[in-house]
Amino acid sequence: METTLLHGHLERRGAVHRAERGVVLPASFGDPTAEYGALRTEVVTFDLGFREILGVTGADRVDFLQGMLSHDVARLAPGAGCPALMLTIQGRVTADLRVAVTTDAIWVDVDRRARLALVEALEARLIADEVELTLDERRALIGLEGPHAAQALPALASLPAFGHAPGEIAGCLVHVWRTSVLGEPAGAAVLAAAPDAPAVWDALVAAGARPCGQGALESRRVELGIPHLGVDMGETTLALEVPVDAAISDTKGCYLGQEVIARATARGHVNRRLCALEFDGPLPPPETPLVRDGKEVGRVSSALVSLGLGRPIGMGMVRRECWEAGTELAARHGHAVTVARVARWPLA
C-alpha cells in the first residue's frame, strides 16, 4: 500500500486516512459534510498525492508526445498546458493526463495507479527518439478547489486554464498550475518540494482553504460526472464512450488511437456511453449489472450517497437504447434489486 509525501503531516492535522485503490489518502478531516459545503461555496485544499509528475525531456520530446497523446501538444508554448489521453491503438484509455510545457521539459500529470502502464506504453514506442522519461517522486502535489480558490492562492487569478508558473508560498518555492480534478475553472495544483510541503499546506489553510478529504471530493466528482481511470474507464473503454471531450483534439493529425476516434466520430455515435444514474433502493456495488426487459444493458461503475442530495447516485456504462433520461433499469446485486434511473449531469 502506498502513502503520499503529506501522509504523516496530515495525520497530525486530523486526517482520517483510508486506502483507496492502493493509495492511502485522507477520507476526511472529521466532517465530510462541512468539507463538501466548503468545496461548493468557498475553497478547500486536499492531498493530491494520488497523482504524480512524469518528466519528459530530450530534443524529440514534443514530436514524440505529439504522436502519442490525444491533444495538440505541439501548439503549446512554455507556461501553457492542456488535458490529454494516452490511448491504445484500438482507441481505448491507458491514462488520463494533464500536460504542462516548460522551457526544457514537458510535465505529464498522471494518476499514480496508472503511471507504470503509461511509462511502459511510452517506452515501448521509443525507438530512435531522443527522449527521457523520469517519474518525479520528490515533489508533493497539493490540490485546491472551490469558487474562492484565488483568495487562498492569489497567483491563480493571473493564470489561464492549464497555465502554470513558479511562485512562492510561506517562503518556499513552488509551482502553481491552474488545473482541476473536478473540471472546474478555479481549481489548482501546487507542486512543492517534499520537505516544504507541510509548510505550504499550513499556509494554504491559514489563507482560508479548508482541509478536505476524498469523501467530499468523490461525492462532487460523481455529481458532476468526472470519470476515474480504473473505475469508470480503462483499457476496455473507448475514449468516446466517456465525457472527456476536452482531452481530444479534433484538428491535430495522427496520434495513437486516432483512426478509431475518427471512425467513431464519422459514424456519429458509439454503442454505449457513461451515464448518470439515480438509485431507488440499496446502494449497488460497482460492476452490478443493469438490466432491462431481462437483458443486461450496462453496469454500474461508481455509486455513493451524495453529500449534496442526501440520496444514492452513481454512474455506469449503458447501451445507447437506454440513454434517455428517466429510463428505469434494474440493478441486481445479491438478493436485492435497486431501481437505477438514467439521469443527466450535473446531478447536484
How many domains is the chain partitioned into structurally?
3
What integer is the mean pLDDT of 300-320?
98
174/288 same-domain check: no
Distance, first Cα to last Cα, the chain: 33
CATH number at residue 330: 2.40.30.110
pLDDT-above-70 percentage for the chain = 100
27/103 same-domain check: no
CATH number at residue 111: 3.30.70.1400
CATH number at residue 43: 3.30.1360.120
Query: Directed axis angle between helix 214-224 and helix 32-41, to 10°?
Result: 50
Domain that holds residue 183: 2-50+138-222
17/149 same-domain check: yes
What integer is the mean pLDDT of 340-345?
98
What integer is the mean pLDDT of 224-229?
97
Q: Which of 120, 136, 152 is the C-terminal boundary of a domain? A: 136
Say which residues have a Cβ less than 8 Å from residue 186's Cβ, sequence separation at least 6: 43, 144, 145, 146, 147, 148, 149, 150, 156, 180
| The 3-state secondary structure of the chain, one letter per residue | CEECCCHHHHHHCCCEEEEECCEEEEEECCCHHHHHHHHHHCCEEEECCCEEEEEEECCCHHHHHHHHECCCHHHCCCCCEEEEEEECCCCEEEEEEEEEECCCCEEEEEEHHHHHHHHHHHHCCCCCCCCEEEEECCEEEEEEECCCHHHHCHHHHHCCCCCEEEEEECCEEEEEECCCCCCCCCCEEEEEEHHHHHHHHHHHHHCCCEECCHHHHHHHHHHHCCCCECCCECCCCEHHHCCCHHHCCCCCCCCCCHHHHHHHHHHCCCCEEEEEEEEECCCCCCCCEEEECCEEEEEEEEEEECCCCCCEEEEEEEEHHHCCCCCEEEEEECCEEEEEEEECCCCC
What integer is the mean pLDDT of 192-207?
98
8/28 same-domain check: yes
Please tell me the pTM assigned to this model: 0.96
What integer is the mean pLDDT of 275-296?
96
What integer is the mean pLDDT of 219-238?
96
Give yes or no for residue 268 having a pLDDT over 80: no
Query: By mean pLDDT, which of 80-89, 131-140, 248-257 is the weakest?
Result: 248-257
31/91 same-domain check: no
Residue 263 within a domain = no
At residue 265, the pLDDT reads 83
205/192 same-domain check: yes
Reported confidence tier of residue 266, pLDDT bands at 50, 70, 90: confident
Give yes or no for residue 151 having a pLDDT over 80: yes
Q: Which of 136, 151, 175 is the C-terminal boundary of a domain? A: 136
Grid coordinates given for 34: 462541512
The residue behind cell 443493469 is 290
212/170 same-domain check: yes
Grid coordinates given for 84: 490529454
46/159 same-domain check: yes
171/110 same-domain check: no
- Give Rg (Cα) of the chain: 20
Kindly report, residue by residue over 80-112, the tens digit of the pLDDT.
999 999 999 999 999 999 999 999 999 999 999
Reported confidence tier of residue 334, pLDDT bands at 50, 70, 90: confident
Tell me the pLDDT of the chain averaged across its residues: 96
Residue 227 within a domain = no
Residue 116 within a domain = yes
186/294 same-domain check: no
Beta-carbon neighbour count of residue 230 at 10 Å? Answer: 17
Residue 252 within a domain = no
Query: Letter for the amino acid at 70?
Result: S
Q: Is the peptide bond before 147 cis (omega within 30 degrees of 0)?
A: no
214/335 same-domain check: no
What is the CA 160 to chain-centroid distance, rounded?
19
What integer is the mean pLDDT of 299-303?
98
CA distances 135 to 11, 37, 49, Å, are: 26, 35, 13
Q: Which of 103, 136, 169 is the C-terminal boundary of a domain? A: 136
Residue 234 within a domain = no
57/131 same-domain check: yes
